[in-house]
Amino acid sequence: MSSEALSRRAFLQAGALAGAATALGAVPPLGPVPASAAVAETMLGVPFPKLERVRLGIIGVGRRGQSVLSDLLTIPRVEIRAICDSDPLMNEQAKQCFTRKGLPEPRCYAAGPQDYEHLCRQDDLDFIFIATPWEWHARQALCALRNGKHVGVEVPAGVTLPELWELVRTSEQTRKHCLMMENCCYGENELMVLAMARQGLFGTITHGEAAYIHDLRMVMNERDEAGAYVSEATWRRAWHTRENGNLYPTHGLGPICWYMGIHRGDRLDRMVSLSSLEAALGEDQAARFKGRGETYICGDVNTSVLRTVKGRTILLQHDTVSPRPYTRHNLLQGTRGAFADFPARLYLDEAAKKAKAHTWIQGEEALRPYRQRFVHELWQRVGELARKHGGHGGMDYVMWYRTVECLLQGLPPDFDVYDAAAWSAPLPLSIASVKGGGAPQTIPDFTRGHWDRPA
């Protein structure tokens, strides 16, 4: 790790330097949320205790867990000491990752759906990563926190408001960080736009657009070599039979919240949500199986509008069943210009006036000067390694490299439990809004008033 690691504030302002899971069975109810005896101090800006090495455990070593495992095994001063999955095949595949690198196998917890509790009690772990189906995230993160571990959980951090509030309270009370590992915040374009926004290229930020538009019909029907449905196909499709709303809000929303300084001078305040009719998944299943016996209620396209306390707006969309190309929108609008992604393009008022044309600056050749000027410090430092080793275009590696760097250097993490809660909240709130015919929903202030501070 570099000895010149950036603080969170410097990290979020960095740029312009180049010119200079597997299913774990039925989920038992979480139970009532215990009332806090007292409100603990905030976790905003709290540094990790400085470590000599990072000792990790992983709960859930299915497809996503193994991908992250592969990244972590390439990062210096990381030791993965324990893994847990209820599927023996997934555990064996994960062990092979260690064998191929000549590393000792980790402890393996595979005695059933609750065996993660034993992993969390293991004394020689600093940080636990969770990559299981969504409905398990909060309870497993709470178990890790209550056993004295920092925890990183896949998105979303929780699926109900009580779960999210309990994550906040428990993180504050245990003084352990609970991070939602939103890899899209660390994408090369996303960190470039963050640098552009922080250096005033777009002027006053007024609006953003975020989405998870990803055709997952094949994933929802994927089978293994024996012909059985893989875990993700089963649990992901099941959500479409139970709820109608934005089931996966964070990939597009996280970066927009960073651009807007959410919890660092502004916060999410209100939202409304509407869903289209359901058609695409139902027609797909009927064509494949002549009827599976499942009824899908989640509308094909969910559209939400969020407003911040300071009056910024965010368009947030979800669609995982329609036939169209992938996009997260990643649009940021300000008083001097805008950026939009998929494909990447830039609009600057001053440049348009000079050219006397309202056209995007797009294409790699036209964007190259801006990429060189606003490349983020972290991508400049480890981008080559990220592209070589990391999933999702390198953003996974960058995210984990940075997280490990913060642990080793004793820095505050780049995001915290309040981000995890606020970015996940549109899942249950969109469901409530859709049920109410687009009824406005209040987004809780998970920071309890501590959001109004500069980044």
User: Does residue 13 register a pLDDT over 90?
Assistant: no
**CB count, 10 Å around CB of 440?**
13
150: which 2 tokens? 């920092």
Q: What are the counts of helices (DSSP H) followed by strands (DSSP E) for the chain? A: 16, 15
For the CA atoms of 252, 255, 258, 262, the dihedral, rounded to the nearest 10 degrees, stands at: 10
Closest CA to 331 of 246, 158, 209, 240: 209
For 49, 211, 406, 407, 409, the CA distances from 412, given in Å and listed in that order, are: 9, 28, 7, 8, 9
pLDDT digits (tens, 9 = 90+) for 319-373: 999 999 999 999 999 999 999 999 999 999 999 999 999 999 999 999 999 999 9
User: Does residue 291 register a pLDDT over 80?
Assistant: no
pLDDT digits (tens, 9 = 90+) for 32-83: 444 444 578 999 999 999 999 999 999 999 999 999 999 999 999 999 999 9
- Mean per-residue pLDDT for 192-206? 98
End-to-end CA distance of the chain: 24
What pLDDT score was predicted for residue 439? 98
pLDDT digits (tens, 9 = 90+) for 408-446: 999 999 999 999 999 999 999 999 999 999 999 999 999
For 223, 234, 240, 288, 292, the CA distances from 228, given in Å and listed in that order, are: 5, 10, 20, 15, 15
Domains and CATH numbers, the chain: 8-27+42-182 (3.40.50.720), 185-376+416-442 (3.30.360.10)
What pLDDT score was predicted for residue 290? 73
**CB count, 10 Å around CB of 52?**
7
CB half-sphere exposure, 423, CA atoms < 13 A: 32
Q: CA-to-CA distance for 331 and 143, rounded, in angstroms?
A: 37
For 157, 162, 191, the CA distances from 23, given in Å and listed in that order, are: 16, 23, 33
Question: 117 φ, ψ to 5°?
Answer: -60, -35
What pLDDT score was predicted for residue 230? 79
Return the SS3 of 202: coil
Report the share of the chain in percent with pLDDT over 70. Answer: 90
DSSP H/E element including 426: helix 426-435
Question: 127 φ, ψ to 5°?
Answer: -145, 135
Contact 383, 188 (CB under 8 A): yes
pLDDT digits (tens, 9 = 90+) for 156-192: 999 999 999 999 999 999 999 999 999 999 999 999 9
What pLDDT score was predicted for residue 15? 57
Its pTM stands at 0.93
Closest CA to 12 of 451, 413, 311: 413
pLDDT digits (tens, 9 = 90+) for 16-26: 443 333 333 34
230: which 2 tokens? 């893989």
- Mean per-residue pLDDT for 271-286? 96
Average pLDDT, the chain: 92
CA torsion sign, 193 to 197 to 199 to 201?
Answer: positive
Helices (H), 131-271: 137-146, 161-174, 188-198, 231-242, 250-260
217: which 2 tokens? 């019909």
